[in-house]
Structure 1
Amino acid sequence: MQYFQVITKDGYILSIQRIPEGRSEAKSNVTKKKEPVIVQHGVFVDGATWFLNSPKQNLPMILANNGFDVWIPNTRGTKFSRKHTSLDPSNKTYWDWSWDELVTYEMPAIFDFISKQTGGQKIHYVGHSLGTLTALASLAEGKWENQVKSVALLSPVAYLSQMKSILGQIAARSLLSKGYILLRIPEFDVNVLPIVDFIKGICAHPGVNCNELFTALTGENCCLAPSAFNQFMEVGRQSTSARNMFHLAQNVQSGVLTKFDFMSPHLNFWHYGRPTPPVYNLSNIPKNVPIFMSYGGRDALSDVADVKRLLNQHFQNHEADKLSVQFIDNYAHADYAFGVNANDLVYNNVTSFFKRQW
């Protein structure tokens, strides 16, 4: 495993891990140019959560053992990416970002860095949850057009208006009604008292059972190991920004994928030159980019209706041989990252899809 630092144009210093070779290759002297792939995590976790399962079951090692050059970024604000060229995480300005900034600054910096490290090769990308939202928005904005080779989206998130997660629905409503109070606590850290109290308030609502956190938020996951929750609580629970959560809540409420709404025509005009935030037009995603999507029938966040809306509205005219869609009836949101059988059901398909682009 190799470790690097990437500096974004807005000054965030990100850590990124690299697995340049698989286990079998480590014992041989064979060297060949390998295709790079980014494995991007979602919100409230970091790159370490991809490794909760054994090497034979986790996605980065499966890709490495299949001959890929694997790169695992850690998003700003998570444990290993809390540095900045001029700001400290104790400074509220450090947290003045939402997933807009991940699209505008973070992902381009990661792509540029890996491209330079690998001799300008085009890059495969696989993301889960928020990692799919940033990918879709990036492609719509034309940011990866000359750098990406193919894209795999696990539990694709774009529209969130139909999500069945009661915890997620109440959290979104609560954030919008109390959001500017929470924005005074810029780091959304589920371990600190104000956020803990906020979550307890949500858990007090009828129909919400926070004792089963994965189920309450992500749906009835079929295939997690009995130790998955404890492992997640030990390794996971990473911070994000309150503004990021507020932005996601706006997306839930509006049913439209827009940039962050500053809730003031004057502020929006100052940021965007218009009184309302611009829409991410996903129909601008290039029709010839190879895309693999996999979604689950029990996913309470990436709901089936929302995924079908994404496909019907923006991928009807995608080149047929460039789009591959998988549906797994009994899979929910966390199964895609932690499921003990995800290697057989999902990751092998991702690997095969990437290899078809060679």
Structure 2
Amino acid sequence: MKLIGLMYLLSFCSYLSATPINGTDQISMLIEKRMWTNWNQSNIELNPDSTIDTPEMIRKSGYSAESHVVMTEDGYLLTLHRIPGGNDSLPVLLQHGLLGSSADWLVLGKDKAFAYLLADQGYDVWLANFRGNIYSRAHVSLSPSNPTFWDFSFHEMGIYDLPAMITFITNMRSQPLHTYIGHSMGTTSFFIMASERPKISKMVQMMVALAPAVLIKHMQSPVQYLNLIRSEIKVKLYVMIIPPNPV
């Protein structure tokens, strides 16, 4: 199991309660709030956005929201969120970093979050979700409970995920992607795509790299230590997610 997939799986097992909640699912919402009440011993005020998903966050801030599902060449189903612009608007794709999601570009709220600022300037804003995160945890044949589902890294994100999303946007808009804006792992994957899938990169007119990550051997983040014990983590997670054979 590769490191990036391993980290997403670790996040999946540790934070199941963080899965986006459908507004119609009242039982799930009650469970979420009950869990927060039990954990919140200091009476910290609950952020109302913590129990809604990305499209709901967008609509709550006064914008239109769309969701689109895109299939990669290797069968992963990725969710693209969108704040649609006008007919003449320029499409911009925002790509999150490690263990992030489309919500990363919205959490600062209206008048502050980057996605909203772009929408206010008239851009057609697309918010990507890499395989394995809470919005892209599906596959045409593999279940997230299957370790094979998590056997990926930023390499697969670069050769499969980004090409699928960029091709979808350019086909839908019948024009090149005006700007790709990536953060951290979102830049790493773009560099991989530019190297391995140059025809796709030519569909992008401009790329903006925020906190670009290229060489990981000099990494100072605590994430580096997971790589040292990934075999041990893999064994433990395998036991957690694979049910025992029936007797």
Shorter-chain TM-score range: 0.5 to 0.7
Contact 2:92/2:177 (8 A) holds in 1 = no
The corresponding residue for 1:20 is 84
1:122 partner letter: L
Give the one of 149, 152, 155 matched to 1:94: 149
Gaps (5+ residues) in structure 1?
A: 22-30, 194-358
CA distance in 2 between counterparts of 1:42 and 1:16 reads 15
2:201 partner letter: E
Q: CA RMSD in A?
A: 2.1
CA offset digits 1:138-167 (Å, max 9, x no partner): 1122253320010010111101333334x2
Gaps (5+ residues) in structure 2?
A: 1-64, 242-247
**CA 65–145 in structure 1, closer or farther in 2 if over 3 Å, else same:** same
CA distance in 2 between counterparts of 1:134 and 1:124 reads 15
The corresponding residue for 1:54 is 109
- Moved segments of 4+, more than 4 Å: none
CA offset digits 1:118-141 (Å, max 9, x no partner): 013333100101001111221122
The percentage of counterpart residues that share the same residue type is 33
2:211 partner letter: S
The corresponding residue for 1:154 is 210
Contact 1:125/1:148 (8 A) holds in 2 = yes
CA offset digits 1:208-247 (Å, max 9, x no partner): xxxxxxxxxxxxxxxxxxxxxxxxxxxxxxxxxxxxxxxx
CA distance in 2 between counterparts of 1:185 and 1:6 reads 32
The reply on whether 1:83 has 2:143 as its aligned counterpart is no
Q: For residue 136 of structure 1, give the secondary structure of its aligned residue in structure 2.
A: helix
Quote how far apart the aligned CAs of 1:36 are: 0.6
The corresponding residue for 2:219 is 163
Quote how far apart the aligned CAs of 1:186 are: 6.0
Give the one of 117, 130, 136 matched to 2:172: 117
Give the one of 113, 121, 124 matched to 1:69: 124
The corresponding residue for 1:236 is none
CA distance in 2 between counterparts of 1:164 and 1:81 reads 28
CA distance in 1 between counterparts of 2:74 and 2:220 reads 36
CA distance in 2 between counterparts of 1:97 and 1:151 reads 24
Report the TM-score when normalising by structure 1: 0.46
**CA 18–61 in structure 1, closer or farther in 2 if over 3 Å, else same:** same
The reply on whether 1:3 has 2:67 as its aligned counterpart is yes
Q: For residue 191 of structure 2, give the secondary structure of its aligned residue in structure 1.
A: helix
Give the one of 172, 175, 180 matched to 2:231: 180
2:121 partner letter: N
2:233 partner letter: L
CA distance in 2 between counterparts of 1:145 and 1:42 reads 19
The corresponding residue for 2:51 is none
The reply on whether 1:136 has 2:227 as its aligned counterpart is no
Q: For residue 235 of structure 2, give the secondary structure of its aligned residue in structure 1.
A: coil
1:17 partner letter: H
Q: How many residues align?
A: 175
CA distance in 1 between counterparts of 2:124 and 2:191 reads 23
Q: For residue 123 of structure 1, give the secondary structure of its aligned residue in structure 2.
A: strand
Quote how far apart the aligned CAs of 1:185 are: 5.2
1:52 partner letter: V
Contact 2:70/2:168 (8 A) holds in 1 = yes
2:218 partner letter: Q
CA distance in 2 between counterparts of 1:3 and 1:122 reads 18
Quote how far apart the aligned CAs of 1:45 are: 1.4
CA distance in 2 between counterparts of 1:70 and 1:185 reads 40
CA distance in 2 between counterparts of 1:132 and 1:13 reads 21
**CA 168–95 in structure 1, closer or farther in 2 if over 3 Å, else same:** closer
1:164 partner letter: Q
Quote how far apart the aligned CAs of 1:113 are: 0.5
Quote how far apart the aligned CAs of 1:100 are: 1.1
Contact 1:42/1:129 (8 A) holds in 2 = yes
CA distance in 2 between counterparts of 1:32 and 1:4 reads 18
Q: For residue 124 of structure 1, give the secondary structure of its aligned residue in structure 2.
A: strand
Q: For residue 215 of structure 2, give the secondary structure of its aligned residue in structure 1.
A: coil
Query: 5 Å matches for 1:1-358?
Result: 1-21=65-85, 31-141=86-196, 142-165=198-221, 167-169=222-224, 171-172=225-226, 175-176=227-228, 178-184=229-235
CA distance in 1 between counterparts of 2:132 and 2:180 reads 21
CA distance in 1 between counterparts of 2:103 and 2:191 reads 23
Quote how far apart the aligned CAs of 1:107 are: 0.7
